[in-house]
């Protein structure tokens, strides 16, 4: 069963559509934290083109705090690895990660007689970070996406794959059929007619609406830039599809936005289920 919400036949002005999109996204929140201390100096020294709010994610702030303290070596290494993994998951390049770390090392260890230089090798630390970046990036590409989608804040394919394996293992342990037990609501965004800057707003709005709808233990995940799935017990899918159609009606009324809402059953094994939800073939 599939329901498709097409662009409204009644044209809306660009200004009106933008205003309604901003209302759906609702980006109101606390102002960005003020720059201060090592994190501020590091941001300037890194030479990044990213705005501070995007650059200074929790892993970055944690690493700055660790470098500003007399932390143990294992704490420093864990913070560096966590930073590199977070950057890999958010699609930052190895070159950008290395540049940020070199800038931090130069700020934290401005001279050769810094006490940390007695037991920390800065070059080795950067190499350790790049090794962690490479491993995380390979896993991200292999498993079909990021742990968390940076646009919507929803989990991605890297989280969904092991979650599906858990659900299939539960079914096996209880000797019940995965296709009869679990399924998913699939929302396919059709944004080809939407101006590029507004596409991100539509994705944010769709992710927020679906996250609000599914708050009872369902797994809502982004697969690619235009597909969102909500994994849930099979018995509730029909009702959920009607609710999702109503929830997304206002978003679908925006100029050029099309939405297809469908359902997908689990396959007999977890990998086949993942590819079914992602709309890809096994082995792709």
156 near 221, Cβ under 8 Å?
Answer: yes
DSSP element (H, E) containing 262? strand 258-265
Average pLDDT taken over every residue of the chain:
78
* Helix, strand or coil, per DSSP, at residue 116: helix
Residue owning tokens 């995380």 = 136
Residue owning tokens 């998913």 = 184
Which of 52-61, 114-123, 242-251 has the largest mean confidence? 242-251
Position 88 pLDDT exceeds 80: no
196 near 252, Cβ under 8 Å?
Answer: no
Q: How far apart are CA 45 and CA 42, in angstroms?
A: 5
Q: 120 falls in which pLDDT band (50, 70, 90)?
A: low
Q: How far apart are CA 243 and CA 218, in angstroms?
A: 14
- Per the document, the length of the chain is 284
189-244 per-position pLDDT tens digit: 888 787 766 778 888 889 989 998 998 888 999 988 789 999 999 999 999 999 99
Other Cβ atoms closer than 10 A to 190: 17
**Strands 227-233 and 182-190: what pairing?**
antiparallel
CA 229 to chain centre: 14
Helix boundaries (H) for the chain: 14-25, 37-46, 52-55, 58-67, 73-89, 94-108, 122-142, 157-174, 178-181, 196-213, 237-247, 249-252, 270-278
Q: How far apart are CA 244 and CA 251, in angstroms?
A: 11
Q: Per the structure block, which two tokens stand in for 9?
A: 């036949």
Q: Which of 3, 28, 17 is nearest to 188 (CA)?
A: 3
pTM of the model: 0.52
**Higher-pLDDT residue of 69, 113:** 69
Task: Check residue 146 and report its DSSP letter.
Answer: -
Q: Which residues on neighbouring strands pair with residue 190, listed in sequence order?
A: 258
Predicted local confidence at residue 95, as pLDDT = 84
């Amino acid at each position: 069963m599939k329901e498709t919400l097409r662009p409204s036949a009644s044209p809306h002005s660009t200004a009106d559509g933008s205003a309604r999109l901003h209302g759906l996204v609702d980006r109101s929140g606390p102002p960005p934290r003020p720059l201060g201390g090592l994190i501020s100096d590091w941001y300037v020294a890194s030479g990044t083109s990213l705005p501070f709010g995007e650059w200074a994610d929790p892993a970055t702030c944690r690493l700055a705090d660790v470098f500003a303290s007399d932390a143990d070596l294992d704490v420093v290494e864990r913070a560096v690895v966590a930073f590199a993994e977070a950057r890999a998951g958010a699609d930052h390049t190895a070159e950008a990660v290395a540049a940020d770390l070199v800038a931090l090392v130069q700020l934290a260890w401005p001279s050769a007689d810094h006490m940390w230089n007695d037991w920390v090798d800065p070059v080795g630390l950067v190499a350790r970070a790049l090794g962690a970046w490479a491993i995380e990036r390979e896993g991200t590409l292999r498993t079909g996406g990021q742990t968390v989608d940076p646009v919507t804040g929803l989990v991605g394919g890297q989280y969904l794959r092991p979650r599906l394996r858990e659900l299939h293992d539960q079914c096996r342990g209880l000797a019940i059929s995965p296709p009869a037990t679990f399924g998913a609501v699939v929302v396919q965004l059709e944004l080809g007619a939407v101006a590029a800057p507004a596409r991100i707003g539509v994705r944010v709005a769709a992710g927020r609406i679906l996250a609000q709808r599914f708050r009872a233990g369902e797994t809502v995940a982004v697969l690619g830039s235009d597909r969102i799935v909500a994994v849930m017990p099979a018995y509730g899918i029909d009702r959920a599809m009607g609710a999702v159609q109503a929830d997304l009606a206002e978003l679908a009324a925006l100029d050029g936005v099309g939405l297809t809402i469908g359902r997908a059953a689990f396959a007999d094994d977890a990998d086949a289920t993942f590819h079914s939800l992602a709309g890809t073939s096994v082995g792709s």
